[in-house]
Amino acid sequence: MSTSIPAEYLPAPNLWPERTRLLAELNYPQQLNAAQLLVEGEAGERRADRPAIYFRDEVITYGALARRVNRLGNAMKALGVGPGDRVVLRTPNRPSFIESWLATVKIGAVVVATMPLLRARELEYIANDSEAKIVIVEGSLYQEIGQARPKMSTVRHVLVHGEAPAGALAISDLTAEQPESLAAHPTTADDVALIAYTSGSTGVPKGCIHFHNDVLAIADSYARHILKPTPRDIFGGNPTMAFTFGLGALMVFPFRVGAAAVLMDAFTPELLLEAVKRYKMTLLFTAPTVYKLLVNMPGRDVRADVASLRLGVSAGEVLPAITYKQWVEGTGVELLDGIGATEILHIFISERAGQVKPGSTGVPVPGYEAKVVDENFAEAPRGTPGLLALRGPTGCRYWRKPERQAGYIHQGWNLPGDIYVQDEEGYFWYQCRNDDMIISSGYNIAGPEVENVMLEHPAVAEVAVVGKPDEKRGSIVKAFVVPAAGRSGGEALTKELQDFVKQQLAPYKYPREIEYVTALPRTETGKVRRVELRKKEQEAAGQKS
């Protein structure tokens, strides 16, 4: 493992998940560089002239991509970026993301990708927590980085794709004279390749550590056995590659087999349909709400638009049975639901083509084991709700969060915090989250994080945030607010608080609904009973708690 990463930043060995190698293809050599394999392929493979990326009117071959990656990698090394150094990456779904990701990993450094919607305070936390040495940013997304830069204590340089503001470095200038060849750093299979940050129920972003062999494992388990990709496939969709769902779908999976990916840096249902048709996508990745919008789009022959597809993949939130049926009946294309987690890197339970039970999540991906357990960690009887536990070739390793690590791993098994039921045929059926996480339109939103920001507003004395069931988004963020003395609730204050949250956090986290109350329900020890508030909203929506 890279020696530049302090041992205390990693979980104690006794708290690591048990990593199983149930498939022969998951046994990798000790020396392994994931970026090198994703660009160059296996030994003897010829792919330099094949398309790797379609972006707008641009077609980038694997050979051209390799040259870009090598020039940027050499430039980063010249700036002093070395093995194990963390690199914050902030770009939309453009070739610059893939180029930067691969260059970072190829030189043995560690990618810390961030979502384009994050604000300065969120970026500052991630950069400082990861102790990042440099930031790579798309010019159009520089503003929040610029605001956060003075408080990024370990960042030495900011590299910009595009025109660089004062104090930053233009990547085009840095790479202009760099050689187009670059030997991959001799990383080991268990060297850290990326740290993916996710918000948990505590509201504190947590970095999830994944190794070089983890990157390949998601392609050699889920993609290989569920999607069955070939070099002729064209992958596409709209999930950001800063999410591990998008990273797998739009880079790792296609590049593992020498296929191509379509990148979109803007999204509307119309644009997505046009992209499927224009590039003749064969594999589509998006959220359930998007599939519902696509299949019900007025004035379009959706079946003709998606005629090239052989599979759709849904993740990020539960795929309702009605959405599945509408999509399959309306398009004739199979749609596979699945559950993944940033801690596990990608999907570990999935439906299979031709064996779908609408409404279920499916069965474990080859290479993974899953079970439903009770409060004593005994396997629950079939048909009985319990906590999901799983293990496989990937697993949770939190960065600098030993207390959170201890809560996620039990007896070597990963506990993502989902309540499931397993039926007699082995299919898993999602019930709910076991914490305060709100899943809205595929985004994970930690209620306490929103609460912490709202409490900074002088008009808020107390606040509790929960998910309210919503037909379109799955859930929306709802805040229960006790106004400060001298303030009263109303439309004006609601807009003021919503705008305040939007300025401090990613816009999708703001409370779409605010209810003003005189007091919050609490336990005898003073803890807010969010479960009571959630129950109230579920009952109002006609759901069972």
| The amino acid at 180 | E
Question: Quick one: average pLDDT of 427-437?
Answer: 78
Residue 405 sits in the same domain as residue 340: yes
What's the whole-number mean pLDDT along residues 93-116?
A: 97
% pLDDT > 90, the chain: 79
For 523, which DSSP code?
-
Q: Which residues on adjacent β-strands are paired with residue 132?
A: 86
Instruction: State the pLDDT at residue 201.
Output: 42
Look at residue 545 and tell me whether its pLDDT is greater than 50: no
Assess whether 316 and 450 both reside in one domain. Answer: no
C-alpha to C-alpha distance for 428 and 348, rounded to whole angstroms: 11
Angle between helices 447-454 and 491-504 (to 10 degrees): 110
CATH of the domain at 130: 3.40.50.980
Number of C-beta neighbours around residue 242 at 10 A:
25
Output the pLDDT for position 527.
64
Output the pLDDT for position 389. Answer: 98
Q: CA angle at residue 53 from 47 to 57, to 5 degrees?
A: 125
Contact 389, 364 (CB under 8 A): no
Best CA proximity match to 534, nearest among 474, 466, 475, 472: 466
Instruction: Give the other-Cβ count within 10 Å of 357's Cβ.
Output: 17
Backbone angles phi, psi at 133, to 5 degrees: -90, -40
Residue 193 domain-assigned (yes or no): no
For 22-74, what is each residue's pLDDT tens digit?
Answer: 999 999 999 999 999 999 998 878 999 999 999 999 999 999 999 999 999 99
Pair (232, 323) in one structural domain: yes
**Residue burial 411-432, b: 16+ Cβ < 10 Å; e: rest:** eebbbbbbebbbeeeebbbbeb
Range in 15-19, 152-156, 433-437 the model is least confident about: 433-437
Rounded to an integer, the average pLDDT of 379-394 is 95
Q: Specify if 201 maps to a domain.
A: no
Nearest to 513 by CA among 531, 489, 530: 489
Distance between CA atoms of residues 185 and 175, nearest Å: 19
For position 349, what pLDDT does the model report? 97
pLDDT in tens, 113-122: 999 989 999 9
| Residue 162: predicted pLDDT | 96
Specify whether 428 is located in the same domain as 467: no
pLDDT of residue 257: 97
**Alpha-carbon distance 503 to 449, whole Å?**
14
What are the structure tokens assigned to 313, written together?
Answer: 């993949």
What is the model's pLDDT at position 322? 84
CATH number at residue 239: 3.40.50.12780
Question: What's residue 15's pLDDT?
Answer: 93
Q: Indicate whether 11 belongs to any domain.
A: no
Of 384, 399, 433, the residue at which a domain comes to its end is: 433
Is residue 528 domain-shared with residue 403, that is, in the same domain? Answer: no
Domain count, the chain: 3
Task: Indicate if 397 and 527 belong to the same structural domain.
Answer: no
Residue 203, in any domain of the structure: no
Same domain for 475 and 519, yes or no, is: yes
Q: What is the distance, to the nearest Å, from the Cα of residue 112 to the centroid of all Cα atoms in its chain?
A: 12
pLDDT, residue 448, reads 75
Whether 25 and 220 have beta carbons less than 8 Å apart is answered as yes
Whether 346 is in a domain gets the answer yes
Q: Is residue 79 part of a domain?
A: yes
pLDDT per residue over 252-262, tens digit each?
999 999 999 99
pLDDT at residue 428, rounded to an integer: 96
- Give me the mean pLDDT over the 78-104 stretch: 97
Give the long-range contacts of residues 427-433, CB within 8 A, separation 24 or more: 427/357, 427/360, 427/361, 427/362, 427/363, 428/339, 428/349, 428/360, 428/361, 428/362, 428/363, 428/370, 428/372, 428/388, 429/359, 429/360, 429/361, 430/318, 430/339, 430/361, 431/385
Residue 298 lies in a domain: yes
In the chain, what are the helix, strand and coil shares in percent, each to the nearest 5?
A: 35, 25, 40
Q: Which amino acid is at 2?
A: S
Mean pLDDT within 489-511: 95
Q: What is the CATH number of the domain that holds 512?
A: 3.30.300.30
pLDDT tens for each residue of 513-525: 999 999 999 754 4
Domain boundary among 187, 207, 234: 187
Q: Are residues 465 and 426 in the same domain?
A: no
Q: Are residues 273 and 295 in the same domain?
A: yes
Identify whether residues 458 and 516 lie together within a single domain: yes
Report pLDDT for 525.
43
Average pLDDT, integer, range 266-284: 96
Domain shared by 345 and 463, yes or no: no
Are the beta carbons of 436 and 201 closer than 8 angstroms? Answer: yes
Q: Are 334 and 353 in contact, with CB atoms under 8 Å apart? A: yes
The whole domain housing 476 covers: 437-540
In a domain, 81, yes or no: yes
Tokens 């006609």 appear where? 542
**For residue 439, what pLDDT is reported?**
85
Report whether pLDDT(242) > 80.
yes
Rounded alpha-carbon distances, angstroms, from residue 281 to 95, 236, 478, 528: 18, 6, 38, 48
Whether 202 has a pLDDT exceeding 90, the answer reads: no
Whether 436 has a pLDDT exceeding 70, the answer reads no
Mean pLDDT over the full length of the chain: 93
366 and 268 part of one domain: yes
The per-residue pLDDT for 360 is 94
State the average pLDDT over residues 124-130: 97
Q: Is there a contact between 325 and 191 (Cβ–Cβ < 8 Å)? A: no
> What are the tens digits of pLDDT across the range 297-342?
888 899 999 999 999 999 877 888 888 999 999 999 999 999 999 9
Question: What is the H or E stretch that residue 537 is in?
Answer: helix 530-540
Domain final position from 403, 433, 463: 433
> Two tokens at 83?
């093995």
Q: Specify the pTM.
A: 0.85
Which band of pLDDT confidence, cut at 50, 70 and 90, is reported for residue 2?
low
pLDDT band of 3, cuts 50, 70, 90: low
